[in-house]
Amino acid sequence: DAGVTQSPTHLIKTRGQQVTLRCSPISGHKSVSWYQQVLGQGPQFIFQYYEKEERGRGNFPDRFSARQFPNYSSELNVNALLLGDSALYLCASSLTVSYLSGYGYTFGSGTRLTVV
C-alpha cells in the first residue's frame, strides 16, 4: 500500500506569490492534518480535516487555507508568501479525527518550500 503522498517535494516561490501543496492520505484514512516545520524546530499544527470538514486550526494567519476533497486528499494554500513561510510542510493522515484508538499518525515526506 502507498503511504502518505505529498507533492511537489520541493518548491521555490517569490515573496507575494501563492502556493498550493497537495496530500494524498493512506487509503481508508479519512483525516488529514497539516504541519509546518521551520528549520531547527518541531512541527507546528496548521489544520486538521476530517470527512471534508475543518476540525481544527492552529495559530496561523488567514493567508493559510486548506480543503479536503471527497476522496480525502487535501490541499494547503498559502497566499501572499513571506520569507518566513519557508519551511517543510508535512501532511499526516489517520483513520479518525482522534487518535485515542492508540495509533499514531502517518506522515508524508513533506514539501520543502523556499520563499525568496
Name the residues that contact other proteins, by CB under 8 A: 4, 31, 33, 35, 37, 39-45, 48, 55-56, 58-59, 88, 90, 92, 94, 96-100, 102-110, 112
84 φ, ψ (degrees, to nearest 5): -70, -10
Nearest distance in Å: CB 92, other proteins: 8
* C-beta closer to other proteins: residue 18 or 49: 49
CA–CA separation, 4 vs 24, rounded Å?
6
Nearest distance in Å: CB 24, other proteins: 14
* C-beta closer to other proteins: residue 37 or 79: 37
CA–CA separation, 13 vs 108, rounded Å?
21
* C-beta closer to other proteins: residue 79 or 112: 112
